[in-house]
Amino acid sequence: MTMSGEMKRIGNEAIYDARPLGVGRMLILGVQHLFAMFGATVLVPLLTGLSVSSTLLFAGVGTLLFHMIAKWKVPAFLGSSFAFLAGYAAIAPKGDPALLPYACFGVACAGLVYLLLAAAFRAFGASRVMRYFPPIVTGPIIIAIGLTLSQSAIENCSKDWFIALVAIVVVIACNIWGHGMVKIIPILLGVAGSYLAAVAIGAVDFSAIAARPWFGFPVEYDRTVFAIFTNGRVNFDLLLSSVITIVPIAFAAMMEHIGDISAISSTVGINYIRDPGLHRTLTGDGLATTAASLFGAPANTTYGENTGVLTLTKVYDPRIIRLTAVFAVLLSFCPKFAAAIESMPTATIGGISLILYGMIASVGVRNIVETNVDFSQSRNVIVAALILVLSIGINYSSAGALSFTLGSISIKFSGIATGSLVGILLNAILPGKDYKFDDDAPNPTGVNLEIAQGKSLDWRASDGVEGQDTVIS
């Protein structure tokens, strides 16, 4: 087929090998994925106080590591996870630089939990393991994550409601009336629109951008986990509290991962849950999260935004995603670029997060609705009620955590940690479990904590028959 013929196929026919398109067009397709993931990926370090440069570096490195472990088969990009925002906020309020390495330690340990679930999938099969993490558990946890973060969104918006409203209006307009790539990248467009509005009214200080060099190393040792153990002032109580607070969030994040792999499988028409298997994809995601956290970057996760791009272009070649990863790595070595991102007004972040946190909570509701959770059963009502009340109530209590002393060690359970553990335990103990996980039909099997747009082909059987369109988020 001629080159022009190959280009006509983009968006119309599935392309599993992009090499006939040529290097130039493959690079353009890679940049497109970069724009899709960019807004959400850089938003997490802005919300938490982590480094933008290290975030971009380990988004790229983590994606390449994931691809290697998943046998180079899955067209997935790993960007910053929103699931752990509540954990960062609990351990390092307002992005305290002295406390962020401790939060990163907890996230690094959470990444290792992925390996345990991966081993369980390998040993026992998906259906046996997933019965302990049904939507009646993961749905309320995700709702609680979104709602516990709502206060910070309002506080940031209150810095300048005009700038915040510009971001909100742009995101809503792109989601409701946008088409093509506009619908895929509403976060990025919302950030850009609000940023330009702030520039127009003189609310942006460019001095920090001018002061930064064009080239620099993206990782600062003092912001890594390793610095905790070499500065001679290790707070072991805080280390333990970080692990206890953040590790339970991994269960929601892992369900997010399964949902994303399901969505990618549905879009591409290849059952990645079976081959390379969830044990490999979970291992790749977990190791990427641990590596990123050790070096002071946010947790990684498979990105729904890029699934939207796959749907739009129908170019399913994982090589394109790996090109995107290389671009992210290259950008991480430009401090001036990072400074431009960091100069973003607080109100811009507030406007974006106001929608984002609400969307996170809404995804939890959607997960419950789509999987037909039966609330006529008392056990389901009890599980959901305790998760929500404990998670939100403890978070907004005067103490902000459930604290107790074990010997000489002070232990703190965050609301999310307490609610998650209680929910998982109650679901395992109480009779009447009715959730069944089917790895042959992986559409509504999990959740996605990101804002993802677009539509995906419903699950297609091995004979290539297309199903109905379904919205993935």
What percent of the chain stands above pLDDT 70?
A: 87
Evaluate if residue 444 carries a pLDDT over 50.
Answer: no
CA distance 81 to 288: 11
CA distance 473 to 471: 7
Read off the pLDDT of each residue in 112-126 and give the average, rounded to a whole number.
90
Total length of the chain: 473
The DSSP 8-state label assigned to residue 159 in this structure reads T
Q: Look at residue 440 in the predicted model and tell me its pLDDT.
A: 57
Evaluate if residue 466 carries a pLDDT over 50.
Answer: no
Q: Is the peptide bond before 276 cis (omega within 30 degrees of 0)?
A: yes
User: pLDDT tens for residues 123-155?
Assistant: 988 778 878 888 898 889 888 888 887 887 888
Q: Look at residue 460 in the predicted model and tell me its pLDDT.
A: 34
Ranking 181-190, 278-287, 304-313 by mean pLDDT, the lowest is 304-313
Q: Look at residue 467 in the predicted model and tell me its pLDDT.
A: 35
Residue 122, burial from CB neighbour count under 10 angstroms (0-12, 13-18, 19+):
middle
List Cβ neighbours of 427 (8 Å cut-off, separation of 6 or more): 132, 134, 136, 137, 383, 433
Residue 450 lies in a domain: no
For residue 63, give the nearest of 323, 273, 279 by alpha carbon.
323
Residue 315 lies in a domain: yes
Read off the pLDDT of each residue in 282-304 and give the average, rounded to a whole number.
92
User: pLDDT tens for residues 18-49?
Assistant: 888 888 888 888 887 887 677 678 888 888 88
Residue 461 lies in a domain: no
Residue 56, burial from CB neighbour count under 10 angstroms (0-12, 13-18, 19+):
buried
Q: Look at residue 182 in the predicted model and tell me its pLDDT.
A: 76
Residue 20 lies in a domain: yes
Where helices occur in 248-317 by DSSP H, the ranges are 249-268, 278-294, 304-313
Q: Look at residue 345 in the predicted model and tell me its pLDDT.
A: 86
Evaluate if residue 442 carries a pLDDT over 60.
Answer: no
Residue 170 lies in a domain: no
Tell me the pLDDT band of 4, cut-offs 50, 70 and 90. low
Residue 261 region by backbone torsions, left for phi larger than 0, else alpha for psi between -120 and 50, else beta: alpha
Half-sphere exposure (CA, 13 Å, Cβ side) for 163?
A: 27
Evaluate if residue 202 carries a pLDDT over 80.
Answer: yes
Q: Look at residue 327 in the predicted model and tell me its pLDDT.
A: 93
Q: Look at residue 3 in the predicted model and tell me its pLDDT.
A: 52
CA distance 84 to 106: 10
Ranking 86-90, 225-229, 341-345, 399-403 by mean pLDDT, the lowest is 399-403
Q: Look at residue 449 in the predicted model and tell me its pLDDT.
A: 44
- Give the β-pairing of 409-413 and 455-457: unpaired
Domain that holds residue 220: 14-156+209-346+363-441
Place of tokens 């995101």: 171
Q: Return phi, psi of residue 315, to 5°.
A: -100, 105
Q: Look at residue 34 in the predicted model and tell me its pLDDT.
A: 82
H helix or E strand, kind and range, residue 80: strand 78-80
Distances (CA, A) of 92 to 49, 97, 101, 114: 9, 8, 9, 23
**Whole-number average pLDDT of the chain:** 81
Residue 119 or 434, more confident: 119
Residue 306 lies in a domain: yes
Tell me the pLDDT band of 62, cut-offs 50, 70 and 90. very high
Tell me the pLDDT band of 459, cut-offs 50, 70 and 90. very low
Evaluate if residue 88 carries a pLDDT over 50.
Answer: yes
User: pLDDT tens for residues 411-424?
Assistant: 677 788 888 889 98
Residue 201 or 304, more confident: 201
Domain tally, the chain: 1
Ranking 254-263, 421-430, 456-465 by mean pLDDT, the lowest is 456-465
Q: Look at residue 458 in the predicted model and tell me its pLDDT.
A: 35
Tell me the pLDDT band of 304, cut-offs 50, 70 and 90. low
Q: Look at residue 447 in the predicted model and tell me its pLDDT.
A: 44
Residue 222 lies in a domain: yes
Note the Cα 71 to chain centre separation in Å.
22
The DSSP 8-state label assigned to residue 412 in this structure reads E
CA distance 50 to 40: 14
CA distance 124 to 319: 32
**Are 257 and 301 within 8 A, CB to CB?**
yes
User: pLDDT tens for residues 255-278?
Assistant: 778 877 877 887 788 888 888 988
Residue 152 lies in a domain: yes
Tell me the pLDDT band of 55, cut-offs 50, 70 and 90. very high
Tell me the pLDDT band of 57, cut-offs 50, 70 and 90. very high
